[in-house]
Chains A and B, each alone.
Chain A
Amino acid sequence: MNPTYEISSTSGIQAPRKTPNYKTWRAAGIGAAGLTLAFCVFRYLTIRNGRITFNLCVIVCSLLAISAMVIALSNAKHFGRGNVLRTAWLLIAPMGIVDCLLLACYTLPGVSAGGVRPERETAVRLAGLILAGTTLSGIARLVLAYVLWKMIGVYRGIAFKLRLHTSDYVMIVVLIAIATISVLYASNGISNNLRGLAPVVPDMMGWFPVVDWFRLLALSCCAVLGVIAWRYATDSGGGLVAKAWRSVLMYAALYLGYLAYSGLTAHFVIRPNLQAQPTSFSRFLGLIFLLVMFIGLVGSELMLFLGTTYQNEASNSAVELDAETLNALAAADQA
């Protein structure tokens, strides 16, 4: 049944029900991320306990991912059965959770260095869990590539012209290069994160590069389709739907950047200096690592959250233009 609308000469059409205050939602998300960043930097400078900050990042990421999932499911409800975007938002909904589950696995006791080394049986179970999480993360990226393909199809469906620029081709090459770096050095990042497990289950560690090659395929598909979707969203001339998709693309790009960066730093910075005494320079590098990790990790989940709120606003908000404003806008454009 179609909703009824109240019409007035001054306010145009009013929504049949009150819509959420999306600006407050977004401000809350950005505020939570900002406060956590400030707290993490403070903790690092005063206590230098990387584990606490990582755990806090995982908690904030999880909260953002859960919120994004709820809003994405609500987004899907606005589209009828058979609508491409209904499927797209249903598939996007669990993506943040998958990332967070994988991150949460790294916080389990015995996984990283510093704790009590687990028994072989426990270590096999933990390594299997993280391997499954990494595979799931790869599948999520493949699903995201499918979602982007479908979104591109929506723009093509209305015969909206695609005009790729030279910068877009450069960006595709850069993103594939980052994806390759993330895969080439991901095993270093994983070995660094699994310093507690690796000596107990060396036979299982060989599976991680295999899973990462699969992830490279998914990330490369995401990079190509992501740039095309970004161009469509940019050329669409603003609007909430474009903001939503650009945020989802930023989520994918930031997470990719995080993977590449953590692998690179593990290979070139952390591993060669594991036994070295901490110096001022290494502490400075640690702070930079913390900041980049935070931007990549929490930033990606924040972008996913923002993306879902933009689409929710596009599908749920009232038409706020009144007749006078509309006349003024059109007249100004004509002049």
Chain B
Amino acid sequence: MIASSEAVPKNSQFLIQKSIFLLASSVGKAVAETIIHQGIQQMGASPTTLTEADIPGLSIKVKPALEKFVGEEKAERLTSALRVLVGGMVSK
């Protein structure tokens, strides 16, 4: 595992914003927002208490919705990017 940049804030809202921006160029900002919030809801988590540790779980939850818009391969790329760039993890 590698940590993401230490200089930036890591509150839950910031993590959600980063996740939305990551998906926005493909599916649009409003759709990305809907998908991310649905994923958080499905995890049983709250948008206010989301941490970096929740991101791998979130990436699994958002993948089926992303596949509907961009296909399996790109959804895999986007969720890998979510884990690495937002969750601060290295995908093997």
Choice from A157, A317, A333 contacting B21 with Cβ under 8 Å? A333
Contact flag A314-B80 (CB < 8 Å), given A7-B91, A158-B34: no
B55 surroundings in chain A (CB, below 8 A): none
- Hey, which chain B residues are within 8 Å of A236, CB to CB? 27-31
The chain B residue with its CB closest to the CB of A76 is B71
Could you tell me the distance between the alpha carbons of A237 and B25 in the complex, rounded to whole angstroms? 9
CB pair A83–B29 under 8 Å, yes or no, is: no
- Contacting residues, chain B, for A84 (C-beta < 8 A): 68
Contact of B14 among A238, A321, A323, A334 (CB under 8 A): A334
Nearest-CB distance from A117 to chain B (Å)? 53
Cβ contacts under 8 Å, B29 to chain A: 236-239
- A5 → chain B closest CB, angstroms: 5
- Is the pair B5, A159 in contact by a Cβ cutoff of 8 Å? no
B38 contacts A by Cβ under 8 Å:
yes
Number of interface residues of B (CB under 8 A): 43
With an 8 Å Cβ cutoff, the count of chain A residues facing the other chain is: 47
Against B, the Cβ 8 Å flags (1 = close, 0 = not) of A68-100 are 000000000011100111000000000000000
Contact residues, B23-54 vs A (CB, 8 A): 24-35, 38
In the complex, the answer to whether A326 meets B71 with C-beta atoms within 8 Å is no
Q: B residues 47-80 with Cβ under 8 Å of A?
A: 65, 67-74, 76-78, 80
Task: Please tell me if the beta carbons of B74 and A314 are within 8 angstroms of each other in the complex.
Answer: yes
A303 to B51, CA, bound (A): 43
Partner of B69, one of A7, A241, A319, A329: A241
A7–B90 CA distance with the chains assembled, in angstroms: 7
* Chain B residues with CB below 8 A from A318, complex form: 77
Do residues A237 and B24 form an inter-chain contact, with CB atoms below 8 A? yes
Q: Is the CB of A327 within 8 A of B68?
A: no
Taking a contact as CB atoms closer than 8 A, the residue among A314, A324, A326 that contacts B22 in the complex is: A326
A-binding residues in B (CB < 8 A): 2, 4-5, 8-9, 13-14, 17-18, 21-22, 24-35, 38, 65, 67-74, 76-78, 80-81, 84-86, 90-91
- Would you list the 8 A-B pairs with minimal beta carbon distance, nearest first? A78-B71, A239-B28, A237-B29, A236-B28, A237-B30, A330-B17, A237-B28, A319-B81
Which A residues contact B (CB, under 8 angstroms)?
2-3, 5, 7, 9, 12-13, 15, 78-80, 83-85, 154-155, 157-160, 233, 235-242, 314-324, 326-327, 329-331, 333-334
Q: What are 16 A-B pairs with beta-carbon distances under 8 A? A: A3-B76, A3-B77, A7-B91, A13-B77, A13-B81, A80-B71, A154-B69, A158-B68, A237-B29, A239-B25, A314-B27, A315-B73, A316-B74, A319-B78, A321-B21, A326-B85
